[in-house]
Amino acid sequence: MNFRESPEAESLRDQLRAMMADLLPEDFLGGFTNDPADMDTTEAFCRELGSRGLISLTWPSEYGGQGRGTWEQMALREEMWANYEPRGAQYMNVNWVAPALMRFGSQDQKDRHLPAIAAGEEVWCQGFSEPEAGSDLASLRTAAKPTVGGWEISGQKVWTSYATVAQWIFLLARTDPVAEKHHGITVFILPLDRPGIEVRPIRSMVGPHHLNEVFLDGVWAGPEDVMGEVNDGWRVVRETLAFERVGIARYARCERLLLEAPTALGEGRWSALPLTLTARWAMALVHTRQARILAYRVIDKQSSGRVDPGEVAAYRIAVTKLEQEVAEVLMDAVGELASGDPDEEPWKFVRAVEDHWRYAQAATVASGSVEMQRILLARSMDLVRR
């Protein structure tokens, strides 16, 4: 693989960095904080991205995109995640909602949602996990029962990120209760203000807007709300999750924080750290480069129409373990600042490290646990029965 970046990707990085320098506050750590102004910042930033055609950067022209290359999209992902994802929840739209709509959506669904996503005006959430169907997603129990002209959906979703700020939910429900486990599931796309839907936030250490329960009580859905074919939702999900798991360039933020550490702590503090800790820092930096190469390998295959579930799983395992490794190394490195002056410059870096540590705690569970990813990897290598 040639790792030399194209002039177009380099130019895009320069454009994005200039935008973020102009539009983001100096202490910005993402939209999901206790300060409502941070959410306002992400919404304004998304609208600006949309006005410049940067949300639909690689979409085909028939869907209003620029048709630019996969590696330019990769550059955009890396710049966004290195800068605390100023798109907020919008990244989900780009990574998998829009690709799913393009591949499986009806023409009416494409016409309704793709322009709004491209403009940065629409936020989605993912109605997948349930109290007894998290990593084993195919065991979901939310049921869509046939009724005159459509379905009535009842059930519960949990760990639904962004449901308090989203307008739409990408929902999985079982439409055939007697079908085999991975069959009889259908994808519905529903507005969250539809009668019978209730969102309840779950308090957590990763900040507001993130984790929620979604309750569905006799929610009406018509044929126009179905994405893809009835009872064929698992195929949609399988492809969707492949996009989602590689579409988040988490290693980019890890690398930024690691490289900032010596400067942020200052030469005196950094040189005083134990050699065992700086050795762990160096090894973590190596692991960020390995995760990047794994991501590039998957993206290269996806760009040519090939999706290898095993390689996606290998990347997912590597990058989630990396997040936790980097979090522990940096928390140990900044530990000596705990009794320092909060007005000193290093405290901006300390807040960023603490923020990263909080999110890293859930990294090996979110978007499919590491244990499930190992099973997928083993299956791809024919090490276990399917």
Query: What tens digit of pLDDT does each residue of 79-134 get?
Result: 999 999 999 988 888 888 998 999 999 999 999 999 999 999 999 999 999 998 77
13-17, 150-154, 210-214, 362-366: range with lowest mean pLDDT: 362-366
Q: What is the per-residue pLDDT for 361? A: 83
Q: Percent of the chain having pLDDT more than 70?
A: 90
Question: What architecture (CATH level 2) is domain 126-238?
Answer: Beta Barrel (2.40)
The Cα 13–Cα 25 span in angstroms is 19
The single residue of 72, 78, 79, 244 carrying the catalytic annotation is 244
Which residue did the predictor score with more confidence, 195 or 355? 195
Q: What is the per-residue pLDDT for 18? A: 97
pLDDT bucket at 316, cuts 50 / 70 / 90: confident
**CA-based angle 331:337:338, to the nearest 5?**
80
Q: Which two tokens stand for residue 40?
A: 């306002």
248-262, 275-289, 292-306: range with lowest mean pLDDT: 292-306
Mean pLDDT of the chain: 88
Mean pLDDT of 323-348: 77
pLDDT bucket at 343, cuts 50 / 70 / 90: low
Contact 273, 232 (CB under 8 A): no
Q: What is the per-residue pLDDT for 231? A: 95
DSSP-assigned letter for residue 180 = -
The Cα 322–Cα 226 span in angstroms is 37
**Which of 59, 38, 182 has its CA nearest to residue 110?**
59
Is residue 181 scored above 60 in pLDDT?
Answer: yes
Mean pLDDT of 68-87: 92
75-79, 175-179, 238-242: range with lowest mean pLDDT: 238-242
pLDDT bucket at 332, cuts 50 / 70 / 90: very high
**Where does the chain have alpha helices with state H?**
7-23, 36-51, 70-82, 90-92, 98-104, 107-118, 233-246, 250-272, 275-303, 309-334, 346-360, 370-380
Is residue 245 scored above 60 in pLDDT?
Answer: no
Q: Which of 9-18, 296-305, 310-319, 375-384 has the highest mean pLDDT?
A: 9-18
CA end-to-end span of the chain, whole Å?
32
Q: What is the per-residue pLDDT for 208? A: 67
By 3-state DSSP, what share of the chain in percent is helix, strand and coil, each rounded to 5?
A: 55, 15, 35
Q: What is the per-residue pLDDT for 144? A: 97
Which residues, including other chains, have CB under 8 Å from residue 33's CB and lie 6 or more apart? 207, 208
Q: Percent of the chain having pLDDT more than 90?
A: 56
Q: What is the per-residue pLDDT for 139? A: 87
Which residue did the predictor score with more confidence, 70 or 275? 275
Q: What is the per-residue pLDDT for 83? A: 94
**Which of 196, 190, 195 has its CA nearest to residue 109?**
190
**Which of 291, 266, 248, 273 has its CA nearest to residue 329?**
273
pLDDT tens profile 31-67 = 888 888 999 999 999 999 999 999 999 898 888 888 8
For residue 244, indicate whether it is catalytic.
yes
Is residue 346 scored above 80 in pLDDT?
Answer: no
Contact 150, 190 (CB under 8 A): no
pLDDT bucket at 299, cuts 50 / 70 / 90: confident
Q: What is the per-residue pLDDT for 336? A: 63
Question: Which of the four CATH numbers 3.40.1030.10, 1.20.140.10, 3.40.190.10, 3.40.50.620 does domain 249-380 have?
Answer: 1.20.140.10
Q: What is the per-residue pLDDT for 241? A: 67
Is residue 198 scored above 80 in pLDDT?
Answer: yes
Which residue did the predictor score with more confidence, 198 or 69? 198
Which residues, including other chains, have CB under 8 Å from residue 16's CB and lie 6 or more apart? 54, 75, 76, 79, 80
Contact 132, 139 (CB under 8 A): yes
Q: What is the per-residue pLDDT for 204? A: 76
Give the pTM: 0.86
Q: What is the per-residue pLDDT for 218? A: 97
The Cα 155–Cα 127 span in angstroms is 11
Contact 187, 226 (CB under 8 A): yes
Mean pLDDT of 311-332: 90
